[in-house]
Structure 1
């Protein structure tokens, strides 16, 4: 898979674009681009990577990302069987942040909008009342055009700039250190891991996906992601385990096996290291919510 800078369709004369997705599965590779992006998942589920952050996504997932932040949304393996009852639907907004900053320059909103874009450099997951309001705005954006669409888009930015209903995704020390060639290689590796995390993955096998020796791959992975390959794989597995604990009746042991662990003690240790809770505590807390 060749690496490339993704063309979002924005040009000097077109600084705001709406893209609607309706497919069997999401097919964009791990990539970055020079625009801001807001993604609303309307149908579908799977895993997403934003910078060095790994999480599950599902219907209602709403994320804003700043320019040059690498990311990928990958559906779970069942989607690649192209079953007729499964579709992925999403609305994506691309826009040039300088266009928005020019519009708010000299106003009381300027500082808040600038802070929003600073936060978006790490990726923002939007939640709560703000999430509900923006989902409604997206439905208007999909059904309008011209000045009406632009006006509602600016309302979305205003809502985000004035809200605390969000959390940052990539870690505070994350630094985008990837070239176009890197994103192509990592796209192959990430897609491989997200399709195979549930089984034992020898280091030699994943290194071969990257076309590198195991030793070189480990050094390369750590240099580009600021975390070890083992830590990254554990985060994918625990993220999947969290989804199972929230949404299924599987036992803790069954959850561990489905998430790639054949040892319950190891699963409990990794789960606590990443979430600061035991699996049973996590399930109880999620059910209270």
Structure 2
């Protein structure tokens, strides 16, 4: 089985499309396409992959990605269960890169927009007041037609370009090296890790799925993920740990084992390596933020 790693989201007669995507879970395929994409998660939770970036997502997640930047919003396991009654909903805008031509972006008036386009090559996560404004415009754009839709899109881009409420996602050195059936191979690896990260992850098993030796698999995986397989697995585990720390239902030792770590000391070490803070500091910081907001 082979799945194309490049998707085309627009026809030759379209400048952009708006989609209201509702389903039992988000598209589980690792993919990229030549269009810009603005995604707003209205309903659903899971793990977000953008280039070499891995992080959890939930309702309100707002991300802008540039052309040919691989991405995936992978719903939590519960959404794939047979009798699950949960649903997901995402509002997505795809628009052609020709809408923001180089000759246009070179003009002085478009300095901020040009910077936005440059940053989109790494993926951008927006938060705060920016997210609130964009949420309202997304709901409005669905009711517009013709050129008025273009105006709404430009208004959205203007807000994003003027915002300081964002984080860049992929690392500065990330380069999309996907070709051929890479997307399908990486999907199999991602699916294996997402399904088994709470227990033992086997490098040998992952390599076997791709009919590779462990040495060949490690050489294959690292340039495509921009990290080692071990680092990738730890990021998935720590991403899940972040969710559990914010829910405050488990103590840190329980969370460590729930996320697939056999030793609390290793969990603490890996958590700090990835987040620059200990699990205790992370929980305390975000619980304080939650308290101040409420």
CA distance in 2, matches of 1:19, 1:229: 34
Partner of 2:96: 96
Q: Closer, same or farther in 2 for the Cα pair 1:102/1:149, shift >3 Å? A: farther
1:46 aligns with 2:46: yes
**TM-score normalised to structure 2 length:** 0.93
Pairing 1:26-65 to 2, within 5 Å after superposition: 26-65=26-65
Task: Identify the range of structure 1 (63-72 vs 209-218) with the bigger mean alpha-carbon deviation.
Answer: 209-218
The unaligned stretches of length 5 or more in structure 2 are 290-294
Contact kept? 2:5, 2:179, Cα under 8 Å: no
C-alpha contact (below 8 Å) 1:101/1:113 kept by paired residues: no
1:62-73 matches, cutoff 5 A: 62-73=62-73
Aligned to 2:230: 230
> Given the superposition, is the C-alpha separation of residues 58 and 222 from structure 1 closer, same or farther in structure 2, using an over 3 Å criterion?
same
1:76 & 1:227 partners in 2: Cα distance?
Answer: 23
Find the counterpart in structure 1 of residue 269 from structure 2: 269
Give 1:183 shift: 1.5
Superposition CA RMSD, Å: 1.7
Contact 1:101 1:110 in 2 (8 A): no
Instruction: Quote the residue 1:186 is aligned against.
Output: 186
Structure 1 window deviating more from structure 2 (269-278 vs 11-20): it is 11-20
Q: CA contact under 8 A between 2:18 and 2:92: conserved in structure 1? A: yes
* Residues 193-204 of structure 1: pairs in structure 2 closer than 5 A: 193-204=193-204
Map of 2:87 onto structure 1:
87
Deviating above 6 A after TM superposition, structure 1's stretches of 4 or more consecutive aligned residues are none
Structure 1: unaligned runs, 5 residues or longer: none
How much does 1:102 deviate? 7.3
My pick for the range that moved more, 233-242 or 142-151, is 142-151
Match of 1:209 in 2: 209
Q: Could you state the TM-score of these two structures normalised by the residue count of structure 1? A: 0.95
Shift of 1:103: 9.5
The yes-or-no answer on 1:241 pairing with 2:241 is yes
- For residues 33 and 185 of structure 2, the distance between their equivalents in structure 1, rounded to whole angstroms, comes to 17
Matched residues, number:
289
